Amino acid sequence: MNNNIEHFIEIERQQLISQLTEYYSCDLLVQNIPSESMINDTFKLVHTKLVNSLINKYMLVRCMDYQVGCFSMLFEGEVINEISLPDGFDIEFIPQICEKLHVSFLNSLYTYSNGKIIKKKSKSNLLEAGAVYTQEKVAYDIVHRTI
């Protein structure tokens, strides 16, 4: 399954570059550098579409009454119409892949440096999404002192 996560992270990277090149032509990239905020907002959009597409594919296989048009009634966001799955990929692994993709997203940040878009480790998405939890002992102390 670890090889499969790399497949999907590569799809995310390709989609990010594709989305950014729609806004910035290759000739303008040097003169009109995308901001870190623009790159990471686009990354969030691409990540959401990819996870939604995996959920959509999983629902199509696992739920008898689910149809393509049902996605917008049950979930927020858009899907990528055609998403490639690795050869021999077991649909049952989609929830785990989505979890790993989301953890990767929460722990990543893209920057633009020397004409390249670089992915680096960062906790900024983690903090912004509020995905940081309070340790059990700290939570207990807070509740105990409050009551």
At residue 118, the 3 state secondary structure works out as: strand
Distance from C-alpha of 137 to C-alpha of 119, rounded to nearest angstrom: 34
Task: Give percent above pLDDT 90 in the chain.
Answer: 18
Distance from C-alpha of 3 to C-alpha of 53, rounded to nearest angstrom: 19
Decide which of 73 and 15 is more confident: 15
**What does pTM read for this prediction?**
0.76
Torsion of CA 145, 127, 129, 53, to 10 degrees: -140
Distance from C-alpha of 14 to C-alpha of 55, rounded to nearest angstrom: 20
At residue 119, the 3 state secondary structure works out as: strand
Q: Provide the angle, in degrees to the nearest 10, between the axes of the packed helices 2-23 and 94-106.
A: 60
User: Among candidates 25, 28, 62, 42, which has minimal Cα distance to 109?
Assistant: 42
Q: What residues have CB less than 8 Å from 127, skipping those under 6 apart?
A: none
pLDDT tens for 50-94 read 998 898 888 888 888 888 777 777 777 777 767 888 888 999 999
